[in-house]
Structure 1
Amino acid sequence: MFYPCYIDLGKAARDLFTKGYNFGSLRVDACSRSGENQEVEFSSAAVHTVATGKLAGNFDIKYRIPSYGVILTEKWNTENLLGTIVEIQDRFAHGLKLTLDSWYAPHNGKRSGRVKAEWVNRNVTCNLDVGLDTGPQVNFSGVTGLHGWLLGVQSTVDVSSNQVKGLNFSFGRIGTDYVLHSYVNDAREFGGSFYHSVAHNLDIGAMFSWTTGEPGARFGLAMKYCPTKDLELKAKVDHDSKLAFALTHSLSNRLKLTLSSQFGMASFSDGHKYGIGAIECVQISDQ
């Protein structure tokens, strides 16, 4: 059994609350793949924020070189930032993935970057990333387990001051049709999540958290129902009595349409939010 990385613990329940919801925005995503083995991928996204009227977008090009275990990604966004990501998989050691993630702002000459490493085997999954900027921080995380039980730890160290900035622990279990997850962040925030696949087309989940010094806890319930293979219905409600719905319809193998809405059940004066999104993916084969 291979264990997930620390940031993916509890992901099954988290996706029920986040994926498919895009309140207050109009979003369009498009991607296409080209090459004999689909090794080149082009992707772009545009997001219009209804409240501010701001339009943001990005364009990415990803090129895979399987014979060398290399993936090269070039990025550009409407903030005029240029990014380059180089990923090397299984070249220096089996299960080891090295990543260089860098950004450059041509308008002011600022640069930033991070070096990341991930090592995966049947006993443990470890992640390490180091910032290349002034006063770098080192982030480390590891996950191991036994017979479906998972234990994870995450820590951040400020190299310039030689201080530990954060220390988090996680504990959970993965079953055949359910996932349990709990965590403690800096001995101040406590929380957890629950995911259960009730049927092949019905998933339910719950999340909760509490921070010391705050009066109440935060919690939510969510579900996903797929009446057909082309239609996905989602709903969620949180501790603030905000109810949300999302619908994703696969119009074809290449095009998906998403609609989402949220309103407050306690007070309709909170305002109604909606979101619309479209995702298109096209494959282009070289002749």
Structure 2
Amino acid sequence: MSLPQPVPPSWKDLGKSSNDLLSKDYYFHGTSLEVKTKTPSGVTFKVQGSQTKSDAIIGDIEAKYIDSKNGLTFTQAWTTANVLKTQVELENQFAKGFKLDLNTSLHPDKNHKTAVLHAIYKQSGLHTRTAVDLFKGPTVTADTVIGRDGFLLGAEASYNVTEGKISHYSAAAGYNAPEYAVTLHALSNLHNFHASYYHRVSADVEAGAKAVYDTKATAPGVALEVGAKAYLDSAAFIKAKINNSGVLALGYTQALRPGVKASFGLALDTQKLNDASHQGPIHKVGCHFVFES
């Protein structure tokens, strides 16, 4: 008798280990701040903001209420661009493993609104989602990932109800093991190909890489990026990555005390370090601070 299969990752989380390693914790686009607080009644508040190249401050304030007993999560956010965002999640109420998720946004200044309803169902060896964009199309997007013994197979497709045709489709395959993961994506109607891997070398070291080939790109060739993460101790880690264009990115994150974390980032164009004729900055620096209570 075979053992029960674990729930596979969702379509959007295929290759997540490699993507997180190569994209998260690199703060070199200015200064940003994130403050999180939680009330005794279970309401969580989050305020975050960042400084752009034009010195403008953009950010949002978010409130989240979680009713674990009834499987309800309600999130409300208001951004500095005067966009109101609302998310309502209801889980395990109609069937075990079934979740409804409604995301809406309203921009009063531009009279623009969106509403997307997600239906998610997951069980042993299966993770499937359906999304209906109520104001655009309407368009129905569905994706499914099946998994067995570490092997993963997934597909995604979008159907425009008004036009009566499939507007988008993609496929993916991968293998997940405790120490490593390999994922292959064929996106954008099978015109854009991604290959990624993630390897936990030891308890303190992680490594990964990603290759991207776009059949419709004006510049030929494959874009390649490799990176690594090393824990210095229980409160600090460093990250580094470099791509085939010669851009080197470094990140350092330190927990200063419980609830306070600081991250610093640096990006260097290594091919132009000694180019005296180059105009403009060849490097980027930034920092990010998190306060949580």
TM-score range, shorter chain: over 0.9
Match of 2:201 in 1: 198
Residue aligning to 1:150: 152
* Secondary structure of the corresponding residue to residue 18 of structure 2: helix
Mapping for residues 45-64 of structure 1, pairs under 5 Å: 45-49=48-52, 51-64=53-66
One of 257, 265, 290 as aligned partner of 1:279: 290
Partner of 1:182: 184
Q: 2:252 — aligned with what?
A: 247
Q: Which amino acid aligns with 1:201?
A: D
CA distance in 1, matches of 2:290, 2:232: 20
Which residue identity lines up with residue 216 of structure 1 in the other structure?
A: G
Stretches of structure 2 lacking an aligned partner (at least 5 in a row): 1-5
Q: After TM superposition, give the deviation of residue 160 of structure 1 in Å.
A: 1.3
CA-CA distance at 1:12 after TM superposition = 0.2
| Preserved CA contact (<8 Å) 2:137 2:160 | yes
2:8 is the counterpart of 1:12: no
The alignment's TM-score, normalised by the length of structure 1, stands at: 0.94
For these two proteins, the number of residue pairs brought into alignment is: 279
Looking at structure 2, the residues matched to 187 and 40 of structure 1 have their Cα atoms a distance apart, in angstroms, of 43
Other-structure match for 1:30:
35
- Taking the TM superposition and a 5 Å limit, the aligned residue runs for 1:155-234 are 155-185=157-187, 186-214=189-217, 215-234=220-239
Q: 1:57 to 1:213 in 2, by over 3 A?
A: closer
Offset of residue 176 of structure 1? 2.1
The aligned counterpart of 1:42 is 45
Residue from 260, 263, 272 that aligns with 2:265: 260
Counterpart Cα distance in 1 of 2:213 and 2:125 = 31
1:107 Cα deviation (Å)?
Answer: 2.8
What displacement does 1:227 show?
Answer: 1.3
Percent identical among aligned pairs is 25
Amino acid paired to 1:275: G
Query: What SS does the aligned partner of 2:38 have?
Result: strand
Instruction: Say which is worse superposed, 262-271 or 89-98, in terms of deviation.
Output: 262-271
The match for 2:108 is: 106
Shift of 1:213: 4.2
Q: Is contact 2:7–2:147 with CA below 8 Å preserved after alignment?
A: no
**How far apart, in 1, do the equivalents of 2:172 and 2:28 lie?**
30
Q: Deviations over 1:182-223 (max 9, x none)?
A: 011112111210100000010000100111144110011000
Classify 1:198/1:91 alpha carbon distance in 2 versus 1 (closer, same or farther; 3 Å).
Answer: same
Structure 1 residues 133-167: Cα deviation after superposition (integer angstroms, max 9, x where no partner): 14221111100021110000011111111121111
Unaligned runs of 5+ in 1: 283-287
Tell me, in whole angstroms, the C-alpha distance in 2 between the residues paired with 1:53 and 1:180: 40
Map of 1:129-140 to 2, 5 A cutoff?
129-140=131-142
The alignment's TM-score, normalised by the length of structure 2, stands at 0.92
- Aligned Cα root-mean-square deviation (Å): 1.2
1:211, 1:134 → 2: CA distance?
Answer: 27
